[in-house]
Amino acid sequence: MTTGESPSGARKGVVYLVGAGPGDPDLLTVKALRLLGSADIVLNDDLVPPAILALAGPRCLTVNVGKRCGTKKITQAEINQLMVEKAAQGFSVVRLKAGDPLVFGRAAEEMDALRAAGIPFEIVPGITTAFAAAAALECSLTDRRASSSIVFSSGHHASEAPEALKPNEPTRIVYMPGRDFTTLAAEWTASGLPPSFPCIAISRVAQPDQQITIATLGALSNTDPGPAPVLLLAGWVFQNVQVGTPEFDAILENLAEDRPAIES
């Protein structure tokens, strides 16, 4: 990593966008727990319960920066500024979000602010609430006999989205897409998606030998996704993703340092 992570925990001057999961401390990831115990500052969402905040280190400053409908305590711009300022001062900062930081968590806006300020950051996934709810119901979200797709949506719409993206095309995530995308590409094209529609194939997600291939729908049928298992992601949200940025390289290197190779 450009600012290699200490095995003992959070690095100084770095912001961690951490998923706290649905609220049960037992559902935190090991990495989230380690970062909570070693961070200088935790900026938490309002929905993160006290039982999880209690896992922060004894010298850690916790600040509630949560926003709920009708009871905004702080604006998003102020949260962005706080993250940038504290990291620039040399503190390790955990931005603790309910669920997963990349699902309806305004992570895109926060990453934009951190990139603009030159602040290194890392994303630590959490269990999104939908999956915890399915577990509580003992009900699979997919069943080959009934449903082969999932649509995640928010009641808060992107009212300021560019006109070119309205109505918003859903982000598509395809598990086990196989190695030949020809049929899938033809189906998506026939549905009206343009050749420029962003597509990303990720081989062996979160493994040390993870491989990421960025393409467009027009080139998808000629894309080699790499060894199985493969996850295919497609959507306008991916149009600015770039492999090879310092943040991206840092994440890949951190995965290689932290995790042993897993044979498939």
pLDDT, one tens digit per residue, over 77-103 is 999 999 999 999 999 999 999 999 999
Residue 183 has pLDDT above 70, yes or no: yes
Q: The domain 15-127: what is its CATH number?
A: 3.40.1010.10
Which token pair is 200?
């990303």
Active site residue 45: yes
Q: How far is CA 103 from the centre of its chain?
A: 7
pLDDT at 244 (0 to 100): 57
State the Cα angle at 72 between 22 and 109, rounded to 5°: 70
Task: Please report, for residues 39, 80, 213, 253, 254, the alpha-carbon distance to residue 121 in angstroms, rounded to integers and kept in the order given.
Answer: 13, 13, 22, 13, 12
Percent of the chain at pLDDT > 90 equals 55
Question: Would you state the pLDDT for residue 249?
Answer: 54
Each residue of 21-61: pLDDT tens digit?
999 999 999 999 999 999 999 999 998 999 999 999 999 99
Told to judge if 258 belongs to the known catalytic residues of this protein, a careful annotator would answer no
Q: Between 76-88 and 107-117, two packed helices, what is the crossing angle to 10 degrees?
A: 40
Q: What is the rounded distance in angstroms from the CA atom of residue 89 to the CA atom of residue 85?
A: 6
**What pLDDT is recorded for position 86?**
97
Which residues lie closer than 8 Å to 111 by C-beta, 6 or more apart? 17, 121
Domain ranges of the chain: 15-127, 130-238
Q: What is the band of 68 on the pLDDT scale with cuts at 50, 70, 90?
A: low
pLDDT at 237: 81
pTM for this prediction: 0.74
185-236 tens-digit pLDDT = 999 999 999 999 999 999 988 778 888 899 999 999 999 999 988 989 898 8
What pLDDT does 264 receive? Answer: 33
pLDDT tens digits, one per residue of 150-182: 877 675 655 555 544 444 688 888 988 988 999
Question: Mean pLDDT of all residues in the chain?
Answer: 84
pLDDT for 72 equals 64
Query: Which residue of the set 45, 86, 97, 100 is catalytic?
Result: 45
Q: pLDDT tier at 149 (50, 70, 90 boundaries)?
A: confident
pLDDT exceeds cutoff 50 at 2:
no
b/e for 132-153, b at 16 or more Cβ within 10 A? Answer: beeeeeeeeeeeeeeeeeeeee
- Asked if residue 127 has pLDDT above 70, the reply is yes
Q: Is the pLDDT of residue 140 over 90?
A: no
What is the CATH topology of the domain spanning 130-238?
A: 3.30.950
Task: Identify the pLDDT of residue 55.
Answer: 98
Q: Is residue 259 pLDDT above 60, yes or no?
A: no
